[in-house]
């Protein structure tokens, strides 16, 4: 009986096919390349069709977002995940790159935000979240609300709680909301190893916030089990949302909502559930999280397929990521 391909294998094949067929990719970049985190590394590593040569890593960003995202990340000091130089990763399955490809045009075009998210959050008007930006990336807020700064500093996108994107809007009831977006693509997780020293620091940062009466999290599992990704990441982002709401961020928005975007095809992500007490709550991440979360109004989930609409993103985006392209 033939082995059924998993989600990552399918997406690797799709990315490889797009690289070969796309007119937006330089012919010299259509060769197999190693997955590297910086220029000069990986010379002796395996070469993959779903990676771009390091010098062409910027081509992972689609043309319509490239000139927006690269200078924006540099100006704001945002870290690219496994980026090369001042640009993105050379791995075509980067979730950060997919997020920027989907949302990058929204930085300057609030109509696209309303087209994509209006049906979900009832957005009627979008305001700038930063000067010149209607949407921003790797958002951490202006204050260190989760006690995560190292030597008084935080870096957007690295070593602190960052959400992949964020925007501020007014809904059809006249309420102002800050939307924190977490984007998943091919992620899956394994059981984490014991890290007692790091867990002490994590306890210092988050246990007091979790114990507060208005904490957004139901403490139905031991703190140690909350430190297992992806629940750990969801927990930190929901804590950030609550603290931003309490702090009066962005001229006192009425609500701060975490919006989780992922693909229903990635069942490996949903099965990333670990811990004895956690497994008693459910067999999928969404099922577990729905029980750990106190308020349903502060969390939403949507499938990434909505961004295959070229009116929201682009025809090239659909060509790159559509799992069922037309013949």
| pLDDT tens for each residue of 51-91 | 999 999 999 999 999 999 999 999 999 999 999 999 999 99
Asked if residue 220 is part of any domain, the answer here is yes
Confidence label for 271 from pLDDT (cuts 50, 70 and 90):
very high
Omega of the bond leading into 3 within 30 degrees of 0 (cis): no
Sign of CA dihedral 308, 314, 315, 316: negative
For residues 191-214, give the mean pLDDT: 95
Q: Are 123 and 173 in contact (CB under 8 A)?
A: no
Predicted pLDDT at 4: 62
Q: Determine the average pLDDT of the residues in 126-140.
A: 98
196-217 per-residue burial string, b: 16 or more CB within 10 A, e: under 16: eeeeeebeeebeebbeeeebbb
Residue 258 falls within a domain, yes or no? yes
Of 250, 306, 322, 317, which is closest to residue 100 (Cα–Cα)?
317
- Mean pLDDT in residue range 100-114: 98
CA distance 304 to 63: 20
3 state DSSP class of 254: coil
Inside any domain, residue 1: no
Flag whether pLDDT at 181 surpasses 90. yes
Q: What is the mean pLDDT of residues 8-28?
A: 97
pLDDT of residue 78: 97
Residues 6+ apart with CB under 8 A from 27: none
- Please give the average per-residue pLDDT across 188-199, as a whole number: 94
Q: Is 148 helix (H, G, I), strand (E, B) or coil?
A: coil
Q: What is the mean pLDDT of residues 260-282?
A: 97
pLDDT level of residue 210 (50, 70, 90 thresholds): very high
Look at residue 289 and tell me if it is in a domain: yes
Buried-exposed string 279-297: b where 16+ CB fall within 10 A, e elsewhere: eebbeebeebbeebbeeee
Residue-level pLDDT at 326: 45
Averaged confidence pLDDT in the chain: 94
Examine residue 273 and state whether it is found in any structural domain, yes or no.
yes
**Low-confidence winner among 22-31, 40-49, 250-259 (lowest mean pLDDT):** 40-49
Q: Is the separation of the CB atoms in 138 and 157 below 8 Å? A: yes
Residue 42: the pLDDT is: 57
State the alpha helices, DSSP H only, in the chain.
7-21, 63-76, 95-103, 110-121, 196-211, 223-226, 231-247, 249-252, 267-270, 276-281, 285-292, 315-321
Q: CA-CA distance, 306 to 214, in Å (whole number)?
A: 33
Q: What is the mean pLDDT of residues 205-226?
A: 97
Segment 201-227 mean pLDDT: 97
Read off the pLDDT band of 106 (50, 70, 90): very high
Does residue 326 form part of some domain? no
**Region class of 229: left (phi > 0), else alpha (psi between -120 and 50), else beta:** beta
The structural domain count of the chain equals: 1
Domain presence at residue 167: yes
* DSSP structural state of residue 293: B
Burial of residue 96 (CB within 10 Å: 0-12, 13-18, 19+) is: buried
Residue 327 scores a pLDDT above 90: no
Q: Determine, yes or no, domain membership for 327.
A: no
Pair 293, 216: CB distance under 8 Å: yes
Q: Using pLDDT thresholds of 50, 70 and 90, give the confidence band for residue 2.
A: low
Query: In angstroms, how far apart are the furthest CA atoms of the chain?
Result: 60
**Structural domain range at position 165:** 7-321
Strand segments (E) across 184-271: 255-262
pLDDT at 44 over 90: no
């Amino acid at each position: 009986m033939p082995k059924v391909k998993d989600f990552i294998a399918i997406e690797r094949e799709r990315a490889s096919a797009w690289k070969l067929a796309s007119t937006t990719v330089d012919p010299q970049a259509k060769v197999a390349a190693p997955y590297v985190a910086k220029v000069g590394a990986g010379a002796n590593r395996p070469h993959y069709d779903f990676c771009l040569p390091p010098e062409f890593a910027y081509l992972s960003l689609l043309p319509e977002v490239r000139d927006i995202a690269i200078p924006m990340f540099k100006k704001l000091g945002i870290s690219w995940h496994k980026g090369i130089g001042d640009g993105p990763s050379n791995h075509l399955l980067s979730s950060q790159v997919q997020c920027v490809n989907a949302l990058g045009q929204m930085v300057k075009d609030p109509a696209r935000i309303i087209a994509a998210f209006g049906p979900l959050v009832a957005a009627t008007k979008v305001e700038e979240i930063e000067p010149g930006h209607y949407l921003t990336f790797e958002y951490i807020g202006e204050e260190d609300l989760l006690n995560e700064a190292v030597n008084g500093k935080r870096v957007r996108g690295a070593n602190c709680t960052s959400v992949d994107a964020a925007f501020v809007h007014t809904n059809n009831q006249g309420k102002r909301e800050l939307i924190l977006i977490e984007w998943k693509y091919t992620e899956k997780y394994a059981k984490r190893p014991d890290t007692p020293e790091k867990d002490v620091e994590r306890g210092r940062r988050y246990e007091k916030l979790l114990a507060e009466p208005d904490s957004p999290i139901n403490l139905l599992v031991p703190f140690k089990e909350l430190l297992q990704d992806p629940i750990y990441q969801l927990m930190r982002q929901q804590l950030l949302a609550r603290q931003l709401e309490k702090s009066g961020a962005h001229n006192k928005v009425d609500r701060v909502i975490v919006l989780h975007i992922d693909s229903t095809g990635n069942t490996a992500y949903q099965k990333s559930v670990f811990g004895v007490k956690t497994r008693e709550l459910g067999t999928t991440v969404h099922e577990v999280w729905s029980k750990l979360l106190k308020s349903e109004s502060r969390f939403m989930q949507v499938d990434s397929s909505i961004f295959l609409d070229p009116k929201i993103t682009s025809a090239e985006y659909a060509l790159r990521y559509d799992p069922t392209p037309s013949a």
